Every structure is written in structure tokens, then in C-alpha cells.
Amino acid sequence: MAGVPDRPLRILHAVRAPVGGIFRHILDLANGQADRGHHVGIIADSMTGGERAEAALAAIAPRLKLGVHRLAIRREPVPIDAVVWAHFMRLIRKLTPDVLHGHGAKAGAFIRLKGRSDNTIRVYTPHGGSLHYPLNTLKGAIYSRLERALMNRTDLFLFESAFARDTYQRTIGRPDGLVRCVFNGVTANEFDPIATADDATDVVYVGEFRHIKGADILIDAVARLHADGKPVTLTLAGDGEELEALKAQVARLALTEAVRFIGHVKARDGFSKGRVLVVPSRGDSMPYVVIEAAAAGIPMMAANVGGIPEIFGEHTEALFAPNIVGAMADAIETALDDPEAAAKRARLLRERIFLHFSQKAMVEGIMAGYRDAFANR
């Protein structure tokens, strides 16, 4: 039975879209592994991410002894996937990794289609992805079958939340391979306080503009507050596929004087643009924006979905029922009416993040998972 190699591990991370929290996770993990002397590489889609992904990958590339490799990886299953998978296999033969770590459904499928090897472990972190599709939809039915087919071709499952683990086991099944839960983590400098900008609005949203992130519900909640005579202002920091639809929604609700769009900014810059951060997600596993804001001590209200309650722990008064405009509006009003209570919650939550959600703990937890998977072989 193969044990852990008695040399630095050769670790190859694969992801489809180099954007959002999943990309942030990979960069932090790759940096932490490189700091510990391991030889790391990244495979990522070449069609998404734009200039930000290019810059981030160029910055980390000198630290990655297995290099950065870009392939055209499409989101949906398509026939050309067979060609992309062949490119994956050629890279794997060339780089001879000890650890193949797939992040997200598509990259996770590619690395697990590789046959079993005594020298390589296949690791999968779903990051939500295909688990968000209901089983009674066509996509949900297809993706669940694909996940089930690949389940026992996986040496180690690494879930970033107990919610993601439990959702997988309920909808897909209980794998034969090892299962570990390791929280996402943030770096030490992310605990530095953030000053509120002079032009800060009452509320700020920071993230992608996708349906699952719920920015449209937040806009509706602001409209509800205006209808109740509370002229709350909102900053939307981000970009994505729903940008134009959100702008049209703001215009339709006559909120153009109360709501501003500032485009994509670094998370900490976005946090400074509002007095209270609102996370209105319809679904999430372990969103980095919540951990980052909590580390910085930002007053925050969030939807009670996915792995978000695991971040908040006992501070459940900062959570509101998801997908309900009135519940979100009430939570915003409560936070704005009692800023001292919101600030106190933020201080207590910051202490919790410091104890349980550090980058160091994340990297060490994942490396321990790798070791257990090798020992299990």
C-alpha cells in the first residue's frame, strides 16, 4: 500500500472558472502549500476570468513549480470535453502529480476520470456547484447521476462546510473514499480594521451578480423600506451576468437616486462603501465574502442558507430567512436602527473567525486530509 511520499508533494489543482470564492480558495491553498515546500500547479479555464484572473495567475506563477496551464473548459457537458480531457491526461502524464485536486463539478469530473494509481490520489472539493440544482430538474437529474458515477473514483472528498457534506451525502450518496470537512480561511492581514468611506451608503453588497447570490432580492428589500418611509441607500459592488437586469430593476423601482453600482472592487474596498453589509444569497456553501467581512469586523446581516450559519455560530440574530423580501428588509432596518448592537455582534464574530477560519488552519487541514488519503491506499 502506497504511503505518503517522503519528499515534497507534487500537487495539481484544477478548476473550470478562475473567478469568485472558488478561485480565491485555490490561490490561498496553493500559496500555503508552496510556503510549506510543496510543488504546486494550477489548471484553469482560458475563456473566463478576464484580466483579473490573468493578473492573479501571473502573480502566483513564479511560486508554482508545476506551472499554470489554461485550457478551454466549457461550463456545460459538451462533446468537445473529450478533447479537453485528453489535454488534461497529457498534462498529468507530463507533470506526474502525487495529488490531483479538482475544484467544482467540471474539473472534479476530469481529474476523477483518470484511472486509479498507486502513486496518485484523486481529491474532490465540490464548492456547491452541481449540488445547487434541485433533483427534480433536468440539470439536477443529469448532474446527480454524473456525480454518483464518479463518487467511488474519489480517494478524498474535501468539503468546505458541513452543509455541503450533508447535501452531497443526502442527494448523491455516501462515498467509499475518505470524507473530510475543512473550513475556508483568511489571511492574517484580513483581520485589519476597515474605515468606513466618507461617501458610504447605509447598505452595501459585495459579490457576483448571479441569480443564486440574490442581489435582486436586496434591491426589492430596499424598495420595501422606501415604501415604508425609510429612504435607505445601497451600494452594489460587483459584476456578472445579471448586471443589466439589476440596473433595469433599479430603474423600474424608481431607486436610481438611492442605489449605485460601483463595479468590481476588492472585497475590503467594497466593505468600506456601506455601514452594513448584506449577504442576500438564495444558496451558498461557505462564501468567502462572509468570512472576509467578519474577519474585518464589518457589521453584517446574512441569509440563513447553506454553510453561512456555520460561520456565524451562536450569533444567529444576524441571520434572516432566505428568499423573503420582508425578512431581509426587517433585518436591515434592525441593524441600521441599532448600530451599537450591530457593531458588538461584529466584534464577537471577528473573534470567532480568528479562532476557526484562518488560512493556516485551512491549509493544514487539507494537507492532513491528503496524508490520510495516502495512508488509506
Give residue-wise pLDDT tens across range 311-352. Answer: 999 999 999 999 999 999 999 999 999 999 999 999 999 999
Is the same domain home to 220 and 328? yes
Mean pLDDT confidence for 34-41: 98
Percentage helix, strand, coil, to 5, in the chain? 50, 15, 35
Torsion of CA 47, 262, 331, 285, to 10 degrees: 20
Residue 5 falls within a domain, yes or no? no
Residue 148 falls within a domain, yes or no? yes
Mean pLDDT of the chain: 94
Give percent of the chain with pLDDT exceeding 90.
86
- Domain with 103, as residue range(s), is 10-185+358-376
Is the same domain home to 273 and 294? yes
Residue 1 falls within a domain, yes or no? no
CA distance 287 to 161: 10
Residue 193 scores a pLDDT above 50: yes
Is the same domain home to 14 and 149? yes
Q: Which amino acid is at 295?
A: A
Q: DSSP 3-state assignment of 96?
A: coil
Question: How many independent structural domains does the chain possess?
Answer: 2
Residues 47/18, Cβ–Cβ less than 8 Å: no
Is the same domain home to 169 and 263? no
Residue 270's pLDDT band, with cuts at 50, 70 and 90, is: very high
Mean pLDDT confidence for 28-46: 97
Give residue-wise pLDDT tens across range 118-161. Answer: 899 999 999 866 565 666 676 667 778 889 999 999 999 999 99
Is the same domain home to 177 and 228? no
Mean pLDDT confidence for 43-48: 96
Residue 31's pLDDT band, with cuts at 50, 70 and 90, is: very high
Is the same domain home to 103 and 207? no
